[in-house]
């Protein structure tokens, strides 16, 4: 039996730690160490974790292919700007899926800045988005330059969409309520396709406050998988 | 480069460059760990053991494994890492999953009065796999369980000859790649006050790497008078008031990084770096001080891991 005097923990920790059955504690191999298993063989003697039968949200659907949306982003050094969102609608203007949206707005920043990305928030009914959906679309700050995001041709529930014409949209906040909207159409099916989005500023003189997005264009690669491309963002480490 | 993710352990768990079946196994394993070690789930093994404080309680093998690791670091850090602070954490109002906490009006009990003094000693019988937790104390495996789970999942995949992969649980991550794999891992380090903002990048050579970041900003709440955070200094029984707001530690495994990042945050810049170097010279660190000054361990500064960092970052007023 080995006793380890607990160091400076006042009255909050254990006064003395007693370990029996081991002679060298600090550098010893962990006697219980094993490769992990999610089987029931290591069930707690107290309870069986309920999640052992959970299924996971792994995308496993056959889709038509992959849409790559390219854009050039500029950083505007001013208040209430630099928020962007990309989403898909069908040819009737019905919402299909959000691809990415700036972390601040997607994560609830619109509650303190109601001017943020109103068109996207309205059509996506974003205030009702699930936590998982919010985490999926959050786009960290990107630097000035060319970027690409992908649509794997699934809808918001993860199901493959049918062949047809779809609308891709990008909205950006230039300065408070001054925004830019890009809209492009793309037909997806058995053939590859390309298109360039048209730009509208809201209000019309919004461009005078700066250029946030330009050269938004998309390409459809029939049969290509999302697994074949490198996706933004890079992994990050943040405080936990 | 497929990425999969799932919301678990009150954070986003994601994988990169793992196949869908491998990623699925990782998520399932993380769920098992969460259900076993969460302080916030009444049916978790940890909650049940805490409720049985004062009596001898049998442990599952995996609980015994993590408890052993927790005690190892408790000893190695001379109590700066302390897994016995569950009751104190509750007293500070962090008594439920953080996203369920009323961060503006969290209930703070009279800490000195309500925190029961533990009676008796803590014992862990390795042969019988039994624990005796003193009455009035409670285990909290919050951070260590997450790091341990990610590390075990990553090491298992490495042992199974997966040539490259990354598992990230809310910023605590392990990544690896074989020398023949040309794609570098690039890890953005977030600004302590804005996860959207990147203050620099870590770029890793082939091999296996663990990275953990601990922050006083991420999980904080108010009681109507004061702002509290979840990094408790066991020497004062209060949230750490050190001059460090964020600490990132890098090594070849995640668990020690998770432990020592928290310790640095508690100890501050005057004592922390030397203290760490004496114990774990193999670990690299990156510290953000409250005033925005960025400090690096000398080994990290001389490495080619750092990219685009500056000596000082802008902090909110």
The pLDDT of residue B174 is 96
Does the structure show a pLDDT above 70 at B102? Answer: no
- Alpha-carbon distance values, B290 to A40, B87, B199, B313 (Å): 46, 28, 15, 10
Mean pLDDT of B15-20: 88
Q: CATH number of the domain at A184, please.
A: 2.60.40.4070
Tell me the domain boundaries of chain B: 40-140, 184-317
More reliable by pLDDT, B249 or B101: B249
Q: Residue A196 corresponds to which tokens in the numbers above?
A: 């360039």
pLDDT digits (tens, 9 = 90+) for A130-184: 887 887 888 877 777 888 888 989 999 888 999 999 999 999 999 999 999 999 9
**Kind and range of the H or E run holding B68:** helix B61-76
Chain-wide mean pLDDT for chain A? 78
**Kind and range of the H or E run holding A169:** strand A164-175
Q: Is B32 on the interface with A (CB under 8 A)?
A: yes
Q: Is A226 on the interface with B (CB under 8 A)?
A: yes
Question: DSSP letters of B39-58?
Answer: SS-TTSHHHHHHHTTTSEEE
Q: With pLDDT > 70 as the criterion, what percentage of chain A qualifies?
A: 72
In sequence order, the 6+-apart residues with CB closer than 8 A to the CB of A40 are: A48, A52
Does the structure show a pLDDT above 70 at A59? Answer: no
Does the structure show a pLDDT above 70 at B298? Answer: yes
> A27: buried, middle or exposed (CB in 10 Å: 19+, 13-18, 0-12)?
exposed
The pLDDT of residue B84 is 87
Residue A18 lies in a domain: no
Residue A8 lies in a domain: no
Residue in B32, B159, B171 nearest the CB of A51: B32
Does the structure show a pLDDT above 60 at B5? Answer: yes
**Kind and range of the H or E run holding A208:** none
| Secondary structure E strands in chain B | 3-8, 11-16, 56-58, 122-125, 130-132, 164-169, 172-177, 185-191, 194-204, 207-215, 220-222, 227-229, 232-233, 238-239, 244-251, 284-289, 294-296, 306-307
Interface A-B, measured as beta-carbon pairs within 8 A, has a size of 264
Mean pLDDT of B204-218: 91
More reliable by pLDDT, B92 or B187: B187
The pLDDT of residue A133 is 87
Across the interface, whether the CB atoms of B68 and A32 are under 8 A apart is answered yes
Does the structure show a pLDDT above 50 at A51? Answer: no
Tell me what ipTM this predicted complex has: 0.78
Does the structure show a pLDDT above 50 at B136? Answer: yes
> Total structural domains in chain A?
1
Fold of B40-140: T-fold (1.10.3980)
C-alpha distance from B225 to closest chain A C-alpha (Å):
23
Fold of B184-317: T-fold (3.10.520)
C-alpha distance from A50 to closest chain B C-alpha (Å):
7
Sheet containing B244-251: which strands, arranged edge to edge?
B3-8, B11-16, B164-169, B172-177, B207-215, B244-251, B284-289, B294-296
Chain-wide mean pLDDT for chain B? 86
C-alpha distance from B285 to closest chain A C-alpha (Å):
13
Does the structure show a pLDDT above 60 at B305? Answer: yes
Q: Is A1 on the interface with B (CB under 8 A)?
A: no
Does the structure show a pLDDT above 60 at B103? Answer: no
pLDDT digits (tens, 9 = 90+) for B269-279: 999 999 999 99
Tokens 């700007």 correspond to A81
Instruction: List the 135-164 stretch of B: residues with Cβ below 8 A of A.
Output: 137, 143, 146, 149, 152-153, 155-156, 159
Residue A207 lies in a domain: yes
Q: For residue A148, give its domain range.
A: 65-225
Does the structure show a pLDDT above 60 at A48? Answer: no
| Least confident segment among A108-122, A188-202, B126-140, B168-182 | B126-140
Rounded CA separation B213/B82 (Å): 18
Cα pseudo-dihedral B87, B88, B89, B93, rounded to 10: 100
């Amino acid at each position: 039996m080995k006793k380890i005097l607990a160091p400076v923990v006042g009255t909050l920790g254990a006064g003395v730690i007693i370990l029996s059955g081991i002679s060298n504690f600090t550098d010893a191999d962990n006697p219980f160490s094993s490769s992990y298993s999610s089987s029931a063989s290591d069930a707690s003697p107290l309870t069986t974790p309920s999640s052992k039968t959970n299924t996971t949200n792994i995308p496993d659907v056959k889709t038509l292919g992959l849409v790559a949306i390219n854009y050039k982003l500029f950083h505007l050094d001013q208040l209430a700007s630099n928020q962007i969102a990309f989403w898909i609608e069908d040819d009737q203007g019905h919402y299909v899926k959000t691809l990415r949206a700036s972390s601040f707005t997607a994560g609830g920043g619109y509650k303190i800045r109601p001017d943020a990305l109103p068109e996207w928030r309205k059509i996506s009914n974003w205030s009702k988005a699930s936590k998982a959906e919010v985490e999926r679309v959050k786009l960290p700050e990107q630097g000035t330059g060319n970027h690409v995001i992908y649509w794997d041709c699934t809808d918001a529930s993860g199901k493959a969409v049918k062949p047809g014409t779809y609308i891709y949209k990008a909205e950006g906040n230039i300065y408070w309520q001054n925004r830019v909207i890009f809209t492009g159409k793309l037909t997806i099916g058995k053939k590859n396709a390309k298109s360039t989005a048209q730009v509208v500023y809201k209000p019309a003189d919004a461009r005078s406050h700066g250029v946030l997005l330009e050269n938004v264009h998309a390409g459809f690669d029939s049969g290509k998988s999302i697994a074949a491309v490198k996706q933004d963002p890079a992994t990050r480490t943040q405080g936990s | 480069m497929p990425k999969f993710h799932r919301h678990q352990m009150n954070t986003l768990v994601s994988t990169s460059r793992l196949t869908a079946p491998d990623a699925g196994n990782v998520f399932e394993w993380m769920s098992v760990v969460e259900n076993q070690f969460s302080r916030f789930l009444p049916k978790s093994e940890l909650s049940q053991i805490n409720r049985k404080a004062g009596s001898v309680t049998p442990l599952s093998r995996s609980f015994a494994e993590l408890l052993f690791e927790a005690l190892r670091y408790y000893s190695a850090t001379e109590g700066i890492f302390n897994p016995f602070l569950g009751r104190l954490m509750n007293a500070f109002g962090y008594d439920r999953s953080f996203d369920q906490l009323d961060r503006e009006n969290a209930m703070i009990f009279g800490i000195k009065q309500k925190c029961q003094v533990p009676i008796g000693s803590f014992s862990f019988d390795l042969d019988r796999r039994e624990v005796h937790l003193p009455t009035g104390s409670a285990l909290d495996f919050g951070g260590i369980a997450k790091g341990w789970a990610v590390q075990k999942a990553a090491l298992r995949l490495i042992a199974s000859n997966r040539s490259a992969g990354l598992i990230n649980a809310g910023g605590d991550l392990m990544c690896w790649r074989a020398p023949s794999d040309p794609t570098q891992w690039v890890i953005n380090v977030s600004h302590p006050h804005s996860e959207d903002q990147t203050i620099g990048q870590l770029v890793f050579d082939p091999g296996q790497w663990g990275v953990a970041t601990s922050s006083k900003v991420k999980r904080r709440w108010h009681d109507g008078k004061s702002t509290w955070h979840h990094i408790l200094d066991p020497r004062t029984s209060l949230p750490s008031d050190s001059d460090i707001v964020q600490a990132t530690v890098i090594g070849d495994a995640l668990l020690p990084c998770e432990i020592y990042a928290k310790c640095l945050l508690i100890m501050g810049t005057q004592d922390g770096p030397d203290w760490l170097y004496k114990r774990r010279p193999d670990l690299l660190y990156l510290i953000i001080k409250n005033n925005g000054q960025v400090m690096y361990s000398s080994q990290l500064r001389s490495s080619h891991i750092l990219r685009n960092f500056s000596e000082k970052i802008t902090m909110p007023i």
